[in-house]
Amino acid sequence: MTYDDTVMIAAEGLAKSFTLHLQGATHIPVLGRMDFAVRAGECAILDGPSGAGKSTLMRCIYANYLPQEGRVLIRHDGDLTDITHAEPRAILDIRRRSLGYVSQFLRVIPRVGTLDLVMEPLLTLGVAEAEAKERAATLLSRLRIPERMWRLPPGTFSGGEQQRVNIARVMVVHYPALLLDEPTASLDADNRQTVVDLVTEACGRSAAIVGIFHDAAVREALGNRTITVTPYEKAAA
Ligand SMILES: Nc1ncnc2c1ncn2[C@@H]1O[C@H](COP(=O)(O)OP(=O)(O)OP(=O)(O)O)[C@@H](O)[C@H]1O
């Protein structure tokens, strides 16, 4: 396939199934051969019933899961790079600079406070400490994490607070491609709206976004296109 310069994420013939070796080699077919491309400024919403494979697809895009067939290309340093077959070091570089991922759970680093945790991705990219601190503080404020909590490690925070720290830690970097796995799932209406605003701003900066959103109002507000997850059986037929 050839793609123009606006394509940021592309899946080619992506198929994924699981074999549970400890359960009598039970085979679970999940994704059929999926092809799609997401361009700069697009917010594509993954569509499909519960268990269809939306999170699995997202993990294949982020190279957490290795598909049995096909590959995913991510724009990195100007070129579409095959993340599926990249070396671990190259995958980490793509994730550090080109592809952000808001997963459903915050990965807490023991003893690291919330503000430091949110600043850290920017410091890794070489952003000056004062600017990183200001950007992290602005986001934490917008996401309504009270300032008195910024010094605390978020391990004991509520589910919704942890999810907001998780969102801040990813959205603080202006990634050109972004994966969002139900970022609004445990949030109240005001914070949900803040996330909608942040994602809209990212699209406005020409980020390419692939998202899973179960909330109908959020889908309505954000989705300018839908990608239907193709089950394995359908593609094989
Ligand atoms: N690591 C794994 N090992 C075995 N099976 C898995 C694994 N990850 C996912 N699956 C299976 O793949 C199928 C798709 O799961 P997935 O979480 O991708 O669906 P989903 O569309 O995101 O669902 P939901 O909307 O309910 O979150 C499920 O049947 C699940 O049991």
CA of 2 to the centre of ligand 1 (A): 31
Which of the four pLDDT bands, split at 50, 70 and 90, describes residue 107?
confident
Rounded CA separation 59/37 (Å): 16
pLDDT digits (tens, 9 = 90+) for 155-210: 889 999 999 999 999 999 999 999 999 999 889 999 999 999 999 999 999 999 99
Which of the four pLDDT bands, split at 50, 70 and 90, describes residue 113?
very high
> Is residue 234 pLDDT above 80, yes or no?
no
Looking from the CA of residue 59, the nearest atom of ligand 1 is 18
* DSSP at 191: H
Pocket around ligand 1 at a 6 A CB cut-off: 18, 20, 28, 30, 48, 50-56
Nearest CA to ligand 1 atom 1: 18
Domain 1-98+176-184+202-237 belongs in CATH node 3.40.50.300: yes
Which of the four pLDDT bands, split at 50, 70 and 90, describes residue 235?
low
Strands 43-47 and 177-181: unpaired
> Is residue 62 pLDDT above 70, yes or no?
yes
CA of 70 to the centre of ligand 1 (A): 19
CA of 178 to the centre of ligand 1 (A): 20
* DSSP at 176: S
Rounded CA separation 237/6 (Å): 32
The whole-model pTM stands at: 0.93
Q: What is the CA radius of gyration of the chain?
A: 18
Token pair of 68 as six digits: 């049995």
pLDDT digits (tens, 9 = 90+) for 69-101: 999 999 999 999 999 999 999 999 999 999 999
If one residue of 50, 54, 57 were mutated to test the ligand 1 pocket, choosing by the most ligand atoms within 8 A of its CB, it would be 54
Residues 6+ apart with CB under 8 A from 19: 25, 26, 27, 28
Rounded CA separation 145/162 (Å): 10
Rounded CA separation 3/214 (Å): 30
Rounded CA separation 202/13 (Å): 28
Nearest CA to ligand 1 atom 6: 18
Residue extents of the structural domains in the chain: 1-98+176-184+202-237, 104-174
